[in-house]
Amino acid sequence: MNRIRLLPDHVANQIAAGEVVERPASVVKELVENSLDAQATRITVEIQAGGRSLIRVTDDGVGMSRDDALLCLERHATSKIQRAEDLAAIATMGFRGEALPSIASVSRFTLTTRERDTDSPEGTQIIISGGKIHEVKSAGSAPGTIIEVRQLFFNLPARRKFLRTEETEAAHIQHYLTLAALAHPNVGMAFHKDGRQVWQLASVKSGNDIAARLTALRERLRTLYGDEQKLLAVDSSTEISSRDETDAEYSPAVRLWGFMGAPGMSRATREDQHLFINRRPVENRGLNFALLEGYHTALMKGRYPVCCLFLEIDPAAVDVNIHPAKREVKFHREAEVRRFVAQAVRQTLLSFHSEPAKERVVSITPVRDRQQQESETTSVQQESQTEQVALPHFPPALRPAPEPTKPTIHQPALRMGFGLNQKTNPAAPLPAAESHSTSPIVPLAPRPSPLAAPSGPVPLLNVPLRLVGVIGKLYVILESDRGLVLLDQHAAHERILFEQMLNRLEQNGQTASQRLLLPATVELSPRDANFIREQLPALTRLGVGLSEFGESTFLLDALPPFVKASDPRRFVLELVDELKAAGQEVNSLRLGEHTVAKTVCRHAVKANDPLAGRELENLVEELRYCAMPYTCPHGRPTIIEMNFRELEKKFGRTQ
Ligand code: ADP
Ligand code: MG
């Protein structure tokens, strides 16, 4: 008996819908992506009851002819690819030709469309219920497409039951729309929820060059998130060269651009971490990891960066056809892409502190650009004005920045200046991902970063600071012309020691070490002894002269000069405990120099006396010379600011 038969179309569609249409937000995603692919300049999304009772997406895109409108509801009907080879380089959001038939099979669906570029005023309307066409008729409508999805999953009660509350579903929809809005500032977007307007985002005109795109993105970010965020502009590109002989000539260009949080800015979840690959919002573990790696000591454990970053890469170098909803992608050169992203992030963090002083100064501003400046944020202008009131009476020890700074730092016109199409030298090999463990601090080849200028914050350590006092033997109070500044002495000291240590290590393969007058022996438990034995080489390189002196006894005969050696034995015992704790974090037998250095510094700082007067001034000065001064090696902030605006808010002087 033959038992196999072909499934009817509407069943096949429902099965496909199981993968593509998980919840109302997936419908919104598919429909909005279709509108974007149809070159819409305005998209309106309306939902009711979290998208359960209604989702309506209206666009002014190219629209469809009657034939196309009928065809688009067939499975595997698409205008976006033609041949299997096209799959290798997809430039549109869609390509599977599955979304519309899937959605139409699990809802009451109405498609109304009219071609944009024909003279005929006639449009087409198709009404479908649960995948069955009820009516096809002419309809008068504006050019573009309206798709209405009512009663999602009405014919699949089991699926309907799995939907969450209206608020949750609406939040998912809004989250997707936020991503789409960030990726397409040039498209005007409106969002209505239960008859109420949530957004009305005007289209932001933007050219093709990166400066204009950054400005447009900044504008969108501001509309969606408000003005408070301290974001750094990112722009970095390179060519990924292959180690693989077979396609040696093929080296796709990649670029990472967008905005990311200044050092010390983070969230407890990935919620504000937006990553796009060729404008597609994606989840990619490799990239997540690269971000964390790039932030490195600028991020606390368990915290996530805030960013909106776009990776642009030759579509042929990435496979988007690995997930039915296209949420995940796969790179052909995963490791290289990761390394590039980590490096770009790191570079941005480093240049935040080190570059502005040299790079931002510009004396001539073309008139054309000046007009553009008018549209810059007022906060930027305020900053540049206050910048000019450099206070002459500050003690010389607390003068701003390692390089002398001109007060005109923040001329936004600089954006037009130089290096816009700058690439990081493609000839220079990408540093290995692991290289962080050996040369974390030395800045990479200097790269002009004019883009940090347009709306980036002026780094706190680039403005003059005046010492006010110390509270709790720990917090140093300083004053700047922007407001109140607080410095955590220990955190700052840790950062300074950490960088000094690693710089020395980098230069001499060994950090400074001081022989003890009286070497001490330390007895450890067998387990601790085993553990510390693994760490001896790193400890020695970092100036802690510890050697085996019997079964589980160790001899300590040298320490880094900054460690007070009043009780060397205790120092070792505590260091062992801290290293063990650090070891649990990194989960490896032998800790890297980084981890050991971090721990030694933390310990040294803890054991030190509080600083006073001149020493504090030196501390601030030395912090200024650090490559990553804003966080301690564990990612906690070293210095924070409460500007006058925030103070006024707290004291109820403003709203
Ligand atoms: P895909 O997007 O993968 O091609 P869909 O099922 O989402 O598959 O859409 C099928 C086809 O319908 C698209 O290829 C496109 O030609 C057409 N289409 C869908 N939505 C729109 C729209 N909003 N405007 C114009 N054409 C559209
Ligand atoms: Mg589609």
Mutation pick for ligand 1 pocket among 72, 75, 326 (CB with most ligand atoms within 8 Å): 72
* Highest-scoring range by mean pLDDT, 100-114, 377-391, 447-461: 100-114
Gap from CA of 69 to ligand 1 centroid (Å): 9
pLDDT of residue 26: 95
Count Cβ atoms below 10 Å from residue 279 Cβ, excluding itself.
17
Residues 27, 171 contacting (CB under 8 angstroms): no
Gap from CA of 185 to ligand 1 centroid (Å): 21
pLDDT by residue (tens digit) across 301-337?
Answer: 888 999 999 999 999 888 888 888 888 889 988 899 9
Q: Is the pLDDT of residue 42 over 60?
A: yes
Gap from CA of 121 to ligand 1 centroid (Å): 21
In sequence order, the β-bridge partners of residue 510 are none
Q: What mean pLDDT is reported for the chain? A: 81
Q: What percent of the chain has pLDDT over 90?
A: 46
Residue type, 49: A
pLDDT of residue 43: 98
Confidence class for position 518, pLDDT limits 50, 70, 90: confident
More confident residue, 402 or 404: 402
Gap from CA of 112 to ligand 1 centroid (Å): 13
Q: In 297-442, which residue ranges form alpha helices assigned H by DSSP? A: 334-354, 356-359, 367-374, 378-388
Interatomic CA distance for residues 506 and 219, integer angstroms: 42
Gap from CA of 100 to ligand 1 centroid (Å): 7
Task: Give 117's Cβ-side CA count (13 Å radius).
Answer: 5
pLDDT of residue 244: 59
Gap from CA of 79 to ligand 1 centroid (Å): 7
For 63, the token pair is 């629209």
Q: Is the pLDDT of residue 447 over 50?
A: no
Gap from CA of 433 to ligand 2 centroid (Å): 37
Atom of ligand 1 nearest to the CA of 33: 2
Count Cβ atoms below 10 Å from residue 197 Cβ, excluding itself.
11
Rg (CA), the chain: 29
Closest ligand to Cα 115: 1
Least confident piece of the model among 66-70, 266-270, 532-536, 589-593: 589-593
CA distances from 636 to 302, 475, 494, 631, 632 (A): 12, 14, 11, 5, 5
Atom of ligand 1 nearest to the CA of 96: 3
Pocket of ligand 1, beta carbon within 6 A: 30, 34-35, 38, 59, 61-64, 72, 77-80, 94-100, 145
> Which residue puts its alpha carbon closest to atom 20 of ligand 1?
34
Mutation pick for ligand 1 pocket among 26, 27, 32, 34 (CB with most ligand atoms within 8 Å): 34
Closest ligand to Cα 90: 1
pLDDT by residue (tens digit) across 181-223?
Answer: 999 999 999 999 999 999 999 999 888 889 999 999 999 999 9
